[in-house]
């Protein structure tokens, strides 16, 4: 309902109010488990591994069909890889409802004692340490990608559509992320290896060359910046909130 019906309502509202530019939040999940890495924008889309990824594939098709139907809009789809981290001030961060589904908030909540342990889903993947690999991108770099995309799309006429991978081009395993986070805390991170989780791809990372050259966008933050900022926000939030 959120990913499909809301998108169609937004497109209708854009037409009714003469809003012409759209930067769409897509996802690397549209690629499924690609046959080769890194992933380029031209990499063929495979069957999505999750309902969420399927809605992103459908959403991209809806936008393209809307433009092809003659509507006076132009759009860019940013295929996010794995946004993590928090604002460096420690004042803005990720606060999922209930039990987190994503690695970083589950990790930081484990660090502050909100979760007993972090579960690592699978250590028998075809990766150097057996755990799944992702291309993590700092949320501040992702925010800047939106600004660059808006500046770029302003220079184009109606019916323009393009896609860009927004990632660092570097794949890190789950254990890499845990090791990075361990640098910034004194206590040992409690984690347990369990079975694979349905819907998780084995490994994926981007080729960001197109975003680099066309949008003039370059990520600034490394994995250690991502984990450190996420931990800083989590600790700051827990110390100043009423639980």
Q: Distance of alpha carbon 204 from its chain centroid, rounded? A: 12
List 40, 52, 161, 218, catalytic entry: 52
Is residue 202 within 8 A of residue 168, CB to CB? The reply is no
DSSP string covering 113-180 = TSSS-EEEE-S-SSSTTSS-EE-EEEHHHHHHHHHHHHHHHTTS-TT-EEEEEES-S--EEHHHHHHH
* Residue 184 designated active-site: no
**Residue 59 host element (H or E):** helix 51-68
Side-chain half-sphere CA neighbours of 151 within 13 A: 11
Q: What is the end-to-end Cα distance of the chain in Å, rounded?
A: 31
| Residues 6 or more apart whose Cβ sits within 8 Å of residue 164 | 41, 76, 77, 78, 79, 145, 149, 210, 211, 214, 215
**How is residue 97 annotated by DSSP?**
S
**Residue 7 host element (H or E):** helix 5-16
| Chain length of the chain | 243
Q: Which residues are catalytic?
A: 52
């Amino acid at each position: 309902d959120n990913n499909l019906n809301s998108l169609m309502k937004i497109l209708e509202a854009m037409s009714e109010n003469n809003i012409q530019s759209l930067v769409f939040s897509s996802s690397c999940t549209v690629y499924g488990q690609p046959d080769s890495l890194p992933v380029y924008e031209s990499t063929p889309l495979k069957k999505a591994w999750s309902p969420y990824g399927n809605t992103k594939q459908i959403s991209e098709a809806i936008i393209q069909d809307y433009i092809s139907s003659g509507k006076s809009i132009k759009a860019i789809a940013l295929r996010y890889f794995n946004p993590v981290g928090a604002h460096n001030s420690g004042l803005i961060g990720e606060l999922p409802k209930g039990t987190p589904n994503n690695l970083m908030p589950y990790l930081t909540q484990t660090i502050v004692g909100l979760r007993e342990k972090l579960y690592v889903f699978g250590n028998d993947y075809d990766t150097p340490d057996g755990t799944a690999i992702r291309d993590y991108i700092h949320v501040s770099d992702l925010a800047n990608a939106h600004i660059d995309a808006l500046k770029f799309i302003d220079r184009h006429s109606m019916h323009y559509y393009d896609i860009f991978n927004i990632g660092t081009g570097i794949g890190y395993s789950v254990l890499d992320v845990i090791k990075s986070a361990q640098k910034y805390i004194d206590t040992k991170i409690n984690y347990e290896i369990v079975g694979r989780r349905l819907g998780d791809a084995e490994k994926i990372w981007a080729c960001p060359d197109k975003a680099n050259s066309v949008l003039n966008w370059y990520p600034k933050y490394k994995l250690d910046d991502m984990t450190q900022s996420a931990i800083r926000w989590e600790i700051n939030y827990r110390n100043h909130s009423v639980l």
